[in-house]
Amino acid sequence: MNPGNAPPRFFATGEAQDFRQLVEEYQHRVFRLVASVLGPYSDAEAEDVTQEVFLQVHAKAAVFRQEMNFGTWIYAIARNRAIDRRRQARFRLPHVAADALQTAVGEDDADRRLLIAQCLEALPEIYRTLLYMYYWQGASVEEISEYTGLVPGTVKSYLARGRQRVEAMLRANKDRT
C-alpha cells in the first residue's frame, strides 16, 4: 500500500510491476468515483473510463509533480474523464425531458425507481454524483471528500441539498397525479 500522501513507487521506477501495483491499489476507488458520475446501469462504461484514467496516468507520469497528493491527482483525472463521457452521452443517448417527471406514475416499485432515477438525472452533476456515491455505492462522507476534494461539511451540505431537490421533484410529481 502507498503510505500517506507519498506518490506510488511507479513514479520513481517506471517499472511495469510498480504500475500494476498502482492500478491494483487504486482501481476500485477510481471505478467507484467514475460509476458515481456516470450513474446507475453504467458499469461497462465505467470500466472503460477507468481504463482510460490509468492510461492517462501512465502517459502523464513524466509530468506528475512528486510533491502533489497522488490520490487528489488521480481522482481529479477520473472525475473529469467521467464528466466528459457523460457529456458525450447526451449526443448518443435520448435525453429525458423534465416533463417526463410530471407523468403519472403508479405505486409500482419499478415505476417509483424509474421516477427517482429520472429525478436524479435532472439534478446538477455534483448533487447527482454525491447522492449516487453515498446511497448506491455506500461511500462514506470521508471517502466522498477524498474522491472529490470537497471538505466533509460541504459533502454533507450537498447531500442534503440533493435530497431536498429530489424530494421536491417527487412531491411535485405526486401533486400532479
Report domain extents, the chain.
10-92, 98-176
pLDDT at 6: 61
CA distance 49 to 45: 6
Average pLDDT by stretches of 10, the chain with 177 residues: 63 88 93 87 87 93 81 91 80 42 49 79 89 86 89 93 89 75
CA distance 169 to 165: 6
> Cβ(137)–Cβ(36) under 8 Å?
yes
Rounded to the nearest 10°, the torsion over CA 33, 37, 43, 47 is -60
Q: Is 55 left (phi over 0), alpha (psi -120 to 50) or beta?
A: alpha
| CATH code for the structural domain at 10-92 | 1.10.1740.10
| CATH code for the structural domain at 98-176 | 1.10.10.10
Kindly provide the residue ranges of all beta strands, DSSP E only, lying in the chain, ordered along the sequence.
none
Distance of CA 153 to the CA centre of its chain: 18
> Cβ(50)–Cβ(27) under 8 Å?
yes
